Amino acid sequence: MGSTPTRATILYNDWIIPPMKRYTLGFIFNSTLTKVLLIHKLTPEWQKGRVNGIGGKTEQGEDSLSCIVREIHEETGLVTQRNKWVYVSNLESDEWTMDVFGLVYTGDTKNAKSTDKEIVEWFDINNLPSNIMSNGKWLIPLTLDKIKNNNFNIAKVEYK
């Protein structure tokens, strides 16, 4: 009995459908849920000069939860536990998929340090920077709602 084909092996009109790019995005809130940790982006080029949640590309063989834990540690130095993350949303297009997570960080916010050229910074959730990525304006409140109320399973967003 053969295995189920993966996206990379599916043929459509004699064309191989390339594997979908998989990403994660995380929003970390302080213990009082008044601040969110964001990163000043330098790359990719289309995000340069913008502020975004923290995350990145999922590595081969890695699940989304492992990816967000790894990316947060790489970008901020924070060590987080898999079971503390809350799965909030899946954003998807024809070319990529992104799982969005939220976390309440109960440690000292000063523990979050920029570990690369991209600077991390805590922002007041009621005064987000004007250069935030456009979806951050609604993903941050959605993530807060999920953390506070847990009144929905996940939000699924399909981009055109």
Whichever domain contains 70, its CATH number is: 3.90.79.10
Judge whether 117 lies within some domain: yes
Judge whether 126 lies within some domain: yes
- Give yes or no for a contact between 72 and 80, defined as CB atoms under 8 angstroms apart: yes
What tokens does 104 get? 């309440």
Pick from 8-12, 96-100, 125-129, 148-152: least confident = 8-12
With a CB cutoff of 8 Å and minimum separation 6, the contacts of 90 are 97, 98, 99, 100, 154, 155, 156, 157
**Is the pLDDT reported for residue 12 higher than 70?**
no
Sign of the dihedral defined by the CA atoms of residues 79, 84, 89, 94, in that order: positive
Number of domains in the chain: 1
The stretch 23-44 carries a mean pLDDT of 97
**Is the pLDDT reported for residue 6 higher than 80?**
no
- Give yes or no for a contact between 41 and 51, defined as CB atoms under 8 angstroms apart: yes
Beta strands in 5-159 (DSSP E): 11-12, 15-16, 21-29, 35-40, 51-52, 54-57, 86-92, 96-104, 120-124, 155-158
Domain containing 123: what range?
19-158
Q: How far apart are CA 32 and CA 77, in angstroms?
A: 21
- Give yes or no for a contact between 78 and 122, defined as CB atoms under 8 angstroms apart: no
The stretch 2-22 carries a mean pLDDT of 55
Q: Give me Rg for the CA atoms of the chain.
A: 17
Judge whether 6 lies within some domain: no
The model carries a pTM of 0.87
